[in-house]
Amino acid sequence: MKAERGYPGVNVTPKAEAAILRGHPWVYDTEILSMDGTPENGGLVDVRSRKGAYLGTGFLSEKSKIRVRLLSRNANDRFDAAFWERKLRWAWEYRKTVMAPEDLDACRIIFGEADMFPGLTVDKFHDLLSVQVLSVGMENIKGLLLPLLVRILREDGQTIRGVFERNDAALREKEGLEQYKGWFPLPGEAESPVTEITENGVRYLVDVEDGQKTGFFLDQKYNRRAVARLAKGRTVLDCFTHTGSFALNAALGGAKHVTAVDVSASAVEMARANAERNGLGGVVDCVTANVFELLPALEKEPVKYDFIILDPPAFTKSRRTAANAMTGYKEINYRAMKLLPRGGYLATCSCSHFAEEERFQAMLRSAAHDAGVRLRQIEARQQSRDHPILWGVEETNYLKFYLFQVV
């Protein structure tokens, strides 16, 4: 096989072999037993078991602890332009199948390992693509992939006027890649990094150059819609509002009044501007405050809110800090449960992969016990369907979202 395929080979430990057979596409540096041929950083290598059985082909990363990221377990695959075009079309067709046409205005087209593009994220914001490359293998072939993707989208009637690279993530340094952001060179594009998107009927300005991550958080699209359904006639407190997306969905859903809170003054200004853009300034108040201080202070006041939304940033980005993160999650959930009247509603979530579902549920039970309330679950939800969960790759399953009634 090696002579026929022409790729260098790596032999891996039984532990790595077992993980690959379970569906996980990563081989760590400590799991490589031997290497033959002359592999190039970011180049293709065949991965074999200790006994020489073919396990898959992937990109080598000489600087990363994730030494190989598998692309395919099919020994007949040839990684030419036709192969990559098929995979890009597959990813786009998947989004068109699982999402309504209006939801494609702002969606994630490529979700890394879940789409078998390890280390690559591509978000579509109306007429702009925002791209983040976190692996050296994808960095080496982005010059092939991005023009191909633009052509596929344009041929399908999508207007794409530019591709912006948000490669200012610290994770790139673990791959030996520099951090930067800027336009990917395509001919004829206008170079404004700001565009307007519509999600669930709410309009937002998105800045792909200076916005959070790739520009806007798309993974809560349908969870925001679920909140809107419950919000009619209610007085809502939206904690960690950021751009105001949950608050605006609640207001558009018919909430009597919404208070949107964030510790960042710039985020609050953005949320206020988004409320005005949608004609909701009279319903949504945007407040700069620390949620950890605000919730206890509200306990001393008469009951104001019958719907509280908790959408905090990731309190943990490693297993080592997961236990401490649960303390933070419990504090805000306990306080929210104490504030809500019987029959009130709570939306709560975690966007950290390391806050596993069982641990998050245990935290919620403990918070409810300490607050002296019971929780009636309405829905348990996850990330939007354009962020698919690939079974066997637990890193793709990260968002936990619950809707409860406090009884």
At 3, list the tokens.
Answer: 């002579």
Q: Are strands 44-48 and 54-60 parallel, antiparallel or unpaired?
A: antiparallel
Dist CA 212 CA 341 (whole Å) = 34
- Residue 44: which of 166, 177, 136 has the closest Cα? 136
Dist CA 222 CA 225 (whole Å) = 5
Dist CA 342 CA 299 (whole Å) = 15
Query: Which residue spans within 159-201 are E strands per DSSP?
Result: 162-167, 180-183, 194-199
- Measured in degrees and rounded to the nearest 5, phi and psi for residue 42 equal 85, 0
Within 10 angstroms of residue 229's Cβ, the number of other Cβ atoms is 14
Which H or E run contains 368?
helix 357-371
- Residue 121: which of 190, 196, 58, 172 has the closest Cα? 172
- Measured in degrees and rounded to the nearest 5, phi and psi for residue 97 equal -80, -45
- Residue 176: which of 233, 122, 134, 224 has the closest Cα? 134
Known catalytic membership, residue 349: no
Question: Which of 107, 239, 286, 351 does the annotation list as catalytic?
Answer: 351
Dist CA 315 CA 151 (whole Å) = 39
- Residue 70: which of 118, 36, 105, 102 has the closest Cα? 118
244, 275 contact by CB (below 8 A):
yes
- Residue 217: which of 245, 237, 196 has the closest Cα? 245
Dist CA 283 CA 311 (whole Å) = 20
Which of the residues are catalytic? 351
